[in-house]
Chains A and B, each alone.
Chain A
């Protein structure tokens, strides 16, 4: 059973370009979370999605950032017009469907975004 997969693992963009980060949750998981870790800082929650729905986006920057989790395919975190301050590690996590209490989130290996 494959774990949470993220790609690319490393992404380099120039200022003003777009960055697309992909996350494939574990099989059977319908909840996806995105977290960001800036250099030398802790992990910060960004957004929580279920299939085709954004449940909590309280941690998302108001501009340039968006996330989706379509019915089919991976979850996508999209950053438009990237700036150097967006350079960070972006982690995706998944958890099983609602119904029973969600005990744990399984994290992917992360995508390291570098903005030149």
Chain B
């Protein structure tokens, strides 16, 4: 699975958009980009995933560059409850490689 690089920490004002970048320059053609988050010691929570098209759901949007070497997770209107560690994970498509490889992630602090 490709390795990802994320900033260690970021701040965001409450109500503003939070844009979390992720570099995955060694991603291969059949690997997906996943985002999870972990709110203070709770179990990780799935946010969104994509292959090459931009994706949006009720939680966030995922923008993947055309060359797929980087992506950005967008929380459109961050709230204090969005304060968490956000993990960008690249994973291949195979029934026998279901494991998620977590890096250090980005600690997002949403401030009032």
Q: Which residues from chain A sit less than 8 Å from chain B, CB to CB?
A: 4, 31, 33, 35, 42-45, 48, 55-56, 58-59, 89, 91, 93, 95, 98, 101-110
A-chain residues with CB within 8 Å of residue B101 when the two chains form the complex? 45
A selection of 25 A-B contacts at a CB cut-off of 8 Å is A4-B43, A33-B99, A33-B100, A35-B100, A42-B103, A43-B87, A43-B100, A43-B102, A45-B100, A48-B98, A48-B99, A55-B98, A56-B96, A56-B99, A58-B99, A59-B99, A91-B43, A91-B44, A95-B98, A104-B34, A104-B46, A104-B49, A107-B44, A109-B42, A109-B43
Tell me the smallest distance from the CB of A3 to a CB of chain B, in Å: 9
Tell me the smallest distance from the CB of A26 to a CB of chain B, in Å: 12
Interface residues in B64-111 (C-beta closer than 8 Å to A): 87, 93, 95-105
Contact A105 B100 (CB under 8 A): yes
Size range of the interface on B? 20 to 34
A-chain residues with CB within 8 Å of residue B99 when the two chains form the complex? 33, 45, 48, 56, 58-59
Q: Which residues from chain B sit less than 8 Å from chain A, CB to CB?
A: 34, 38, 41-46, 49, 87, 93, 95-105
